[in-house]
Amino acid sequence: MYSDIDSVWDQVEPEITRAIERFDIGEGVEHIRERLINRDQQLWICNGGDGVCISEIKICPDFKILAFPIIAGKNMNEWLDDLVVIAKAYAKHHQCKYIEGYGRKGWLKALNEHGFKNYSITTRLEI
């Protein structure tokens, strides 16, 4: 089965792989590809491929969250503002109460000017 994802996969797969290898999010690149094909996740290509983001809508009992488990790329200062504007509209369209992102501390500084607040810190102990 051919999907729209196949037409851009070679372009975005290296950034997705790099993010997964860095943060061990609990699923491999092929799982993400499959979830994109099944439309369980959404692919965002920013600034002609400088940024690659994966989102998913989490449905909680009381509200929905537009979550970004993967945000990767280069030249973030050239595409982050547009991504936030479009993501806010997308979240509103899908009746999401929150937008969540996960990543390094540097994201907090970059997102503060868009109204994002430090909500929690995720830590992990490998056994």
CB 98 within 8 A of CB 66: yes
Q: What is the pLDDT of residue 40?
A: 96
- If 0-12 CB within 10 Å is exposed, 13-18 middle and 19+ buried, where does residue 53 land? buried
What is the pTM (predicted TM-score) of this model? Answer: 0.84
Identify the band that residue 1 occupies on the pLDDT scale cut at 50, 70 and 90. Answer: very low
The per-residue pLDDT for range 4-24, each reduced to its tens digit, is 899 999 999 999 999 888 887
CB 68 within 8 A of CB 90: no
Alpha carbon dihedral 95, 12, 2, 87, in 10-degree steps, equals 10
Tokens 């491999």 label which residue? 28
How is residue 120 written in tokens?
A: 């929690």
The per-residue pLDDT for range 22-40, each reduced to its tens digit, is 887 889 999 999 999 999 9
Beta strand residue intervals within 1-127, DSSP E: 42-46, 51-59, 64-73, 96-101
The per-residue pLDDT for range 78-125, each reduced to its tens digit, is 999 999 999 999 999 999 999 998 777 777 777 878 887 776 666 555
- The structural domains of the chain, ordered by start, are 4-112 (3.40.630.30)
